[in-house]
Structures are given as structure tokens and as C-alpha cells.
Amino acid sequence: MKTVAIVGRPNVGKSALFNALAGKNISIVHDMAGVTRDRITAECRRGPEVFEIMDTGGIGAKTEDVLTEQVQVEAAIALDVADLLLFVVDVVEGINPVDHELSLVLRRTQKPVVLVCNKADSTKRRMGSSEFTKLGFPDQLEVSAVHGLGIKELVEMLSQRLELSAESAEERVAYEAIRPMKIAVVGRPNAGKSSLVNAILNQDRTIVSEVAGTTRDSMDIHCRYNGKNYQLIDTAGIRRRARVDTPVEVFSVQQAMKSIKRADLCLLVVDCAAGAKMQDRKIAQLILESKKPCILVMNKYDLFHPTAQQKERIEHLDEIMRREFFFIHYAPLVAISAKEKQHIGKLFKAIEAVREGAHNRIGTGSLNRLLQHAIENTPGPLGRSAYAFKLLYVTQVNDKDDRAVPVPHFVLFANRAAKLTDSYLRHLESVIRSEWPAEGVPFIMSVRGKQPKNARKK
Ligand code: GDP
């Protein structure tokens, strides 16, 4: 869904405009930590297509931060998440220095801006709006948010500018069927990579074509499984190994790294009968550091305590391997036997579950509620003191690149951001995961914000 951010200095009527656009679809964010205001996002359903509106007004208004700080925070948010900026000014008050300052920042974003002259309740007041052409935004119109004047025209203009015909869920599914997911099959020598690749290719539901890569030693294999396209990447070495059954494969970190970098998803093949080794953990570390989606493929499951009871066997495996790979906590385990071609279908189910989870989204309202709650319950470093970091707003950034398995990216806007420790950030990540498990997918958590000058004096 596209997002329109409503920006403007205090008292120009941003909330009224937000209400007028949202109608009954307002999502309330309760004011937990005393730093957010009541409403953040809502869906505007008044036009031909639904879009999200984001009321940036009042962020930081309840703290003692000065106005320019607020301008910066608003601009930062608008800059990051919105597809279009709705810049609200007040025709009664006329142009104010903050309007000038804001228009400069908004222009710098290079995003489309619609200038809305609010409080144009009468003809006389509407005349006053001509002054605002000085701000230099070609899309300008007059409204009265309180009296509902000009709202219909505004929605029409927003819809046009957003070109809201954009992708529907069905289109995405259709697109996915064409665009292959790039899968890297990685692991230490003898783990069973080539056996797995062969098992995948020999399944009767796969259609295969080999595509030589750009370099001599890279080879991608396109295959189709259950109606979906996949691209097994950098398989040259792996396939060669399969043809000539020699036990020599030099473990190369560079080779693994190259494949991981190109991948949408990594299958880390582990010989679970032999147990996890240093090299396995090393590759897992590379995947983690590259922020890549991952599944831990427990291969040679047929050799793992074969006589034990099925239920105990899998629990035992899970327990051991969770411990070995604790650091790559988001990756699910799937037990297979490549040689016996067992559970290949299950593996593809897991692959598709990862893709599905990665495409979900938590609404901005719920996300803010969730983290404010969590911070309220378990305050971060320095607790609730005036020196502690304060979360102003959190949002999931729209992924501009169209990866088959998008990696969710959360941006936290905070005061005293420097006070936010890594471990507390990981705690907040786990809070998001509790609502949205997204198995197999790493989260990127970034923090924006600065140390207000007056923080130490408080
Ligand atoms: P690679 O070096 O990772 O490509 O490993 P290979 O696919 O060449 O497998 C190494 C050895 O393990 C070969 O002898 C395979 O037959 C054997 N192997 C692979 N997968 C399995 C499995 O699931 N079960 C058993 N029992 N052996 C396997």
C-alpha cells in the first residue's frame, strides 16, 4: 500500500485533515510512553484505491524539544517512508518561516509534494492561498478540513499522483511465478550439496534448464517446482562434484560468500549425522552477516539415530542443532535425506513459507503500539529516566528493490538514540518477531535520531 505523509508545522490543521481523509478508519495508538500522540496511521478509502495516510504531526510535541527538532524528525520520517508528501499550511496565518524551512527539506526528498492550503472556509480566505505559490509547489489546492471542503478534490489529486493502480496481491503472485527465487546451496564438503541439487532436479515435478553464468566457474540452474520458478545459483562446482565422485572439494569461504551475496535465500546443508562443525558455523555466520534469509537443511537424516522413535529423533535433532546454530536464530530446521530423495517436498514447503512470511507486513499502527507497550513493560538502558532513549516512531521501510524474498527493514526514530544498546535492540526485534514470526527471514533494525542539545540539562 502506498503511503502519504501529512507534514506541516503545528496548528495548521494536520489532525483535522487526517480525520477528514481517514473517515472511520483511524487506527488509534495510545499514548504509552508520553512521546507519541494519539493517531499515527489510517487508511484512506475515499478514492478509487486505498492508501495509507500518516499523520506526522505532534511527534515530539510533548517533549521539550524545540520546533526545529520536530521539523527534522518529521522530515526524516517523510523522507524514508512516504511515497507522497502532503504539505499542510494555514491560509489564515499566511506563510510562516517554518513553512519555508519545511518546504526546503521536503523538496530535498525529491518526492512528490502536494501543497494543501487549509482553513480556506470562505472566498476571502481562499484568496489568501495565492501567497503560498511562493513556496513553489505546482500541486496546490485549498481545503477546509473542518468543513470537509475540497477533500474530494484532494483525494482525486492524491490518487492521480500516486498512480494507485500499483500491484495487487494477485499480480504479485503472478509475478512470482515468473521471477525465480535465487537459491544458494551452501555447506562444507561432503554435506550433501550436490546430492540435494540432484534430488531437486530429479523430482518428476521439476523442469530444468542450465544457464551458464558470466564467469567460467559459475553456473545457474533454472528449475520449476510446483508451478514456481527457482534459480539454483553457482552450482558449477557442486555439479562437477556430483559427476566425478571424488571426495575433494576445497572449502572456500570466498566461493560460499559469492553465492550467499547473490542469493534471495540460502540453504545451509549440514550433515546432521556427523554433527555441526566449525565450517558449518562459519558459513552460518556469513549468511547472518549478509542478512540473508536462510533454512538449515539437516541432511543425511536417514543416518541420524535411525532406530530411534520418530518423535524423539526429531526432537533430539532439533535440540542439538538449535544449540549449535543458536546465533542464526531466525533460520528454521528441515530434516531431509538427499540421497534417499526424502522430504524434498517438505523443504520446498519451507522455502515457500519463508517467502510468504517475508511478504507479510505489520501495520504501522500495530507496530508502534507493540513497541511502545514493550518499552513500557521492560524499559531499556537507563530505564524511564530523562537520559534514556525515547522511541518516537517506528516504521517498516518500503523495500525499493524487488527481491523475491524481501528482508524486512524497521527504522526506529528516537531521541537519545545513542543510548540504545545492541542487546536492547535485539530485544525489540524479538518483540516484533513474537507478533510476526517470519521464519527464515532476518530483520534489519536501524535507528535514527540524535542527542538533543538540552538532554543533559534536564
Ligand atoms: P557435497 O560435497 O556437499 O556436494 O556432498 P555430496 O552430495 O557429494 O555427498 C557426499 C556424500 O554423502 C556422498 O557419498 C553422498 O552419497 C552422501 N550423501 C549425501 N546425502 C546423503 C543422505 O541424505 N543420506 C546418506 N546416507 N548419504 C548422503
Distance CA 231, CA 213 (A): 12
Q: Which residues pair with 343 in a beta bridge?
A: none
User: Which percentage of the chain shows pLDDT scores above 70?
Assistant: 76
> What are the backbone dihedrals phi and psi of residue 159, each rounded to the nearest 5 degrees, phi first?
-60, -45
CB of 188 closer than 6 angstroms to any ligand 1 atom:
no
Q: Which residues of 390-412 are buried (b: 16+ CB within 10 A; e: fewer)?
A: bbbbbbbeeeeeeebbbbbbbbb
Helix (H) or strand (E) run with residue 160 in it: helix 151-162
189 lines ligand 1 (CB under 6 A): yes
What pLDDT, in 10s, does the model give residues 300-347? 999 999 999 989 999 999 999 999 999 999 999 999 999 999 999 999
- Cα torsion 321, 354, 360, 106: sign: positive
Residue 378: other Cβ atoms inside 10 A: 12
Q: Which residues contact residue 337 at a Cβ distance below 8 angstroms, ignoring those fewer than 6 apart?
A: 299, 300, 301, 302, 343
C-alpha cell at 284: 552460518
195 alpha carbon to ligand 1 midpoint, in Å?
6
Residue written as cell 514470526?
Answer: 437
What does the pLDDT average to over 152-163?
88
Chain-centroid distance, C-alpha 306: 41
Q: What pLDDT, on the 0 to 100 scale, is given for residue 320?
A: 97
pLDDT(250) > 90: no
List the beta strands (DSSP E) in 45-92: 51-55, 84-90
Q: Please name the helix (run of DSSP H) or strand (run of DSSP E) that holds residue 12, with its range, or none.
A: none
Residue linked to cell 525529491: 110
Q: Which of ligand 1's atoms lies nearest the C-alpha of 338?
A: 23
User: How far does the centroid of ligand 1 lie from the alpha carbon of residue 268, in Å?
Assistant: 14
Q: Which of 41-45, 252-256, 342-346 has the highest mean pLDDT?
A: 342-346
pTM for this entry? 0.66
Sheet holding 390-396, edge to edge: 390-396, 409-415, 444-448
Question: Please, what is the end-to-end C-alpha distance for the chain in angstroms?
Answer: 41
Cα dist from 201 to 212, 250, 286, 312, 343, whole Å:
17, 24, 27, 31, 14
Q: Which amino acid is at 408?
A: P
- Residue carrying the nine cell digits 484532494: 154
Residue type (1 letter), 331: A
Average the pLDDT over each of 194-203, 280-289, 367-376 and give the range with the smallest value.
194-203
* Mean pLDDT computed over 384-400: 74
- Residues 393-420: tens digit of each pLDDT: 888 876 555 688 989 999 888 877 777 8
- pLDDT value, residue 31: 38
Q: What pLDDT does residue 298 have?
A: 98
Q: What are phi and psi of 296, to 5 degrees?
A: -90, 110
Quote the CA–CA distance of 374 and 362 in Å, as a whole number.
Answer: 16
**Least confident piece of the model among 17-26, 67-76, 289-298, 372-381:** 67-76
CA distance 237 to 277: 21
Q: What is the pLDDT of residue 194?
A: 86
Question: Which of 185, 188, 190, 241 should be mutated for ligand 1, with most atoms under 8 A from CB?
Answer: 190
Q: Give me the torsion for CA of 96, 101, 106, 108, rounded to 10°.
A: 150
Res 76: pLDDT = 66
Backbone phi, then psi, for 143, in 5-degree steps?
Answer: -140, 165
Cα-to-centroid distance, 355 and ligand 1 (Å): 27
Instruction: Return the higher-pLDDT residue of 76 and 27.
Output: 76
Distances (CA, A) of 400 to 17, 82, 278, 308, 446: 28, 12, 36, 48, 16
The rounded distance, in Å, linking the Cα atoms of 219 and 237 is 8
Is any atom of ligand 1 closer than 6 Å to the C-beta of 338?
yes
What percent of the chain shows pLDDT beyond 90? 35
Q: Which three cell numbers stand for residue 69?
A: 527538532
CB-based contacts of 286, cutoff 8 Å, min separation 6:
253, 256, 257, 260
- Give pLDDT, residue 102: 85
- The mean per-residue pLDDT over the stretch 30-35 comes to 36
- Report for 50-59, 123-132, 216-225, 399-408: range of highest mean pLDDT: 123-132
**pLDDT of res. 421:** 84
Of 29-38, 217-226, 427-436, give the range with the top mean pLDDT.
427-436
Beta strands across the sheet bearing 113-118: 26-28, 39-44, 51-55, 3-7, 84-90, 113-118, 140-142
pLDDT band with cut points at 50, 70 and 90 for residue 295:
very high
189-198, 207-216, 267-276, 440-449: range with highest mean pLDDT: 267-276
C-alpha to C-alpha distance for 271 and 247, rounded to whole angstroms = 15
Q: Is any atom of ligand 1 closer than 6 Å to the C-beta of 235?
A: no
The residue nearest atom 22 of ligand 1, judged by CA position, is 300
Residue 129 above 70 pLDDT? yes
Angle at 143 between CA 137 and CA 145, to 5 degrees: 125
Which is more confidently placed, 419 or 122? 122
Residue 29, all three cell numbers: 495508538
194 CB under 6 A from ligand 1? yes
Q: Are strands 207-212 and 181-186 parallel, antiparallel or unpaired?
A: unpaired
In terms of pLDDT, which residue wins out, 54 or 207? 54
pLDDT at 29 over 50: no
Nearest CA to 266 among 258, 274, 254? 258
